[in-house]
Structure 1
Amino acid sequence: MLLYASLTSTIIFLGVNLREGRKFSVRENLYSAFLGFINPFLYYLVLFNAYSLLPAQEAQALNYTWPIILVVFSSAFLGQPLTIKEFFGVIVGFLGALVIGTHGNLSSLSFANPLGDALALSSALVWAMYWIFNLRDPRKAEEKMFWNFFFGSLYILALGVIRGIKFDPLGILGAVYIGTFEMGLTFLLWLKALEREDAGKVASLVYLTPVLSLVFISIVVGEKILKSTLLGLALILLGIMLSRRE
């Protein structure tokens, strides 16, 4: 499924670049061979495995710790020291992750699914790492995304050949949907919003994303949203708010 989703996104980004008349140079875009390994290959491989082991509400909430991890990485790798408020935000955010992973049972620190929780948090780590490396790439966003997904699709294809590619018509339809709306068009719309509106106003909308996701998961997937998920997600969002750099 990941292969078809990635190929769908690649085609979308290719279409955008062709429409804008950009010329492609493989030599200039070799950096994407590295970035494409991180995202989409490694990131979605880890994230999809997390979703296969955890309830959707838990996986998406833990994945949403990436802005907090990004603050830590910015301090460690970009030389941006943490303020007291940011440090407190990091602590609060990871406390929220503990609440979700333990289903509120903090006293025993007993995780319902340790591997799934580790994968969901790892996906957040991979995404934050991707953003750090992406900051050093001066190319246009649409161009970067096309080449990242181009190389990422090659890695996914190689893995699929090793594991054996399965053709499931229903699975392919789902993959095309994910590639279009999860990986492709939504990212482009986000970029356009950042270009047309004040970045601070647009960035504030990210706080709505996990909440709307929970509503979607409850209605469409039919999961009963746990109180521990709501509490943990609230702590994560508070942590993001506190650790956010102006």
Structure 2
Amino acid sequence: MTNQKHAMLFGLGAVLLWSTVATAFKLSLRELSPVQLLVVACSASVVVMALILMAQGRWHLVFSLTRRQYLQSIGMGLVNPCLYYFLLFGAFDRLPAQEAQPLNYTWALVLAYLSVPFLGHKLRRSDIIAGLVCYSGVVVIATRGDLLAMTFSDPLGVAYAIGSTLVWASYWIIATRDTRDPVVGLFLNFTCGLPVIALACGLTDGYDFPVTTGLAAAVYVGVFEMGIAFVLWSYAMKKAENTSKVSNLIFISPFLSLVFIYFILGEIILPSTYIGLVLIMAGLWIQQKRSKPPAVAAVG
């Protein structure tokens, strides 16, 4: 099997896992608060990534970084997982999964815009067109198709979702200067962020939550969305002979996610969701077709 075929299989595995997490978020949030979901998921993710590093014989890399890189881990951990997932889970707590999930995919466009002032990239005409198309889809979804009224179904939930895209795009701009091994870096970020999350959980909603489906879904999020999917995608990018073909697999995820949302969560998918999602994906396709594909897919 060629490296490209291996890359496509790894990529498909990551996309399949990412397609399930919006459903897992909502199942968990039926019984847990966003901060409780985050502390469980983050803990599971740290354990999984530690096991992966040990299995790969790379555990020693965790202890071979410079003082500056360890300080970097603290700073990046406050961004991801702390701030990013606080906002993302807050959005999913307030919005139906079919609304929160497509909004999260606009992070790639935000990354292109933020790359202009922070990375010195040029803003192309296609980026502007992509923005108009993409955010018209956001408005369609957020208003549930009632464009004339321009009344958002949950303004704070939409703000959380859009805010999460700003934080996620900012995180990957910071990561362009990160020289750490990707899995080691993510492990340290989550390890440094976990005490902050645990403290926030203890001071707010506490740890008195039932051992039921919600807890199992939170563990699933940590193991697969925050852990294994990231590793699979990293391998896909590393083995790919044509990264654009692998990156295009990302466009499968939001539509496949709607299938899980419909059959598992029982949400009736609104026509406005389909229209808005098609517009968002079209905007992202316009933005990406002449640019370097992103190294990491969107989540949620």
Partner of 1:173: 216
Please tell me whether the aligned partners of residues 140 and 275 of structure 2 are also in contact (alpha carbons under 8 angstroms): yes
Partner of 2:116: 75
Q: Normalization by structure 2: what TM-score?
A: 0.79
Partner of 1:188: 231
Alignment of 1:205-224 (within 5 A): 205-224=249-268
SS in 1 for 2:110: helix
Q: CA deviation at 1:235?
A: 0.7
Q: Give distance in 2, aligned partners of 1:241 and 1:77.
A: 23
Structure 2 residue aligned with 1:88, among 116, 123, 129? 129
Q: Give distance in 2, aligned partners of 1:21 and 1:97.
A: 42
Alignment of 1:52-131 (within 5 A): 52-131=93-172
Q: Give distance in 1, aligned partners of 2:215 and 2:262.
A: 24
SS in 2 for 1:169: coil
Q: Give distance in 2, aligned partners of 1:5 and 1:93.
A: 30
Q: CA deviation at 1:142?
A: 0.7
Q: Give distance in 1, aligned partners of 2:102 and 2:185.
A: 27
Please tell me whether the aligned partners of residues 109 and 284 of structure 2 are also in contact (alpha carbons under 8 angstroms): yes
Q: CA deviation at 1:95?
A: 1.1
Fraction of identical pairs, as percent: 40
Give the paired residue count. 246
Q: Give distance in 2, aligned partners of 1:10 and 1:199.
A: 28
Structure 1 residue aligned with 2:201, among 133, 148, 160? 160
Q: CA deviation at 1:154?
A: 1.4
Residue 115 of structure 1 aligns to which amino acid in structure 2?
A: L
Q: CA deviation at 1:21?
A: 3.0
2:47 is aligned with 1:11: yes
Residue 174 of structure 1 aligns to which amino acid in structure 2?
A: A
Q: CA deviation at 1:2?
A: 1.2
Partner of 1:243: 287
Partner of 1:29: 70
Q: Which runs of 5+ in 2 are unaligned?
A: 1-36, 293-300
Q: CA RMSD in A?
A: 1.3
Please tell me whether the aligned partners of residues 50 and 59 of structure 2 are also in contact (alpha carbons under 8 angstroms): no
Q: Give distance in 2, aligned partners of 1:211 and 1:51.
A: 17
- Deviation >6 Å, runs of 4+: none
Partner of 2:25: none
Q: Give distance in 2, aligned partners of 1:225 and 1:140.
A: 40
2:240 is aligned with 1:199: no
Q: Give distance in 2, aligned partners of 1:143 and 1:241.
A: 31
Q: Give distance in 1, aligned partners of 2:170 and 2:195.
A: 21
Q: CA deviation at 1:33?
A: 0.6
Q: Give distance in 1, aligned partners of 2:275 and 2:247.
A: 22
Q: Give distance in 1, aligned partners of 2:267 and 2:273.
A: 12
